[in-house]
């Protein structure tokens, strides 16, 4: 949300580690995410995983060949799709 409505009170809510804001007197405007636990915010935004989960996968790939192989396969698929976009 780029601009707030002047003099309109906000209500802050926390649910599942995500902090939302919404207008007290404007129920037609849906609430929006303003912060919270990065992993939970990532899930609430519809992402498959958070940056910290991605970093952990990359770290585990150094130790576990199966994860490394799957990530390499994913990267190949990504570049193939990207080229044909």
Note the pLDDT tens digit of each residue in 39-55.
999 999 999 988 999 99
- When pLDDT is cut at 50, 70 and 90, the band that residue 2 belongs to is low
Position 84 scores a pLDDT of 86
Taking residues 58-67, report their average pLDDT: 96
Buried-exposed string 16-50: b where 16+ CB fall within 10 A, e elsewhere: eebbbeebeeeeeeebeeeebeebbbbbbeeeeeb
How do residues 14-29 score in pLDDT, each as one tens digit? 999 999 999 999 999 9
Give this prediction's pTM: 0.68
Of 44, 17, 20, nearest in space to 31 by CA: 20
């Amino acid at each position: 949300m780029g601009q707030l409505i002047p003099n309109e009170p906000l209500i802050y809510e926390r649910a599942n580690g995500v902090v939302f804001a919404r207008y007290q007197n404007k129920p037609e405007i849906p609430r929006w995410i303003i912060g919270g636990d990065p992993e939970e915010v990532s899930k609430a935004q519809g992402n498959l995983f958070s940056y910290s989960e991605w970093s952990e996968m990359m770290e585990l790939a150094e130790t576990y060949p199966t994860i490394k192989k799957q990530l390499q396969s994913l990267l190949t698929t990504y570049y193939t799709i990207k080229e044909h976009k």
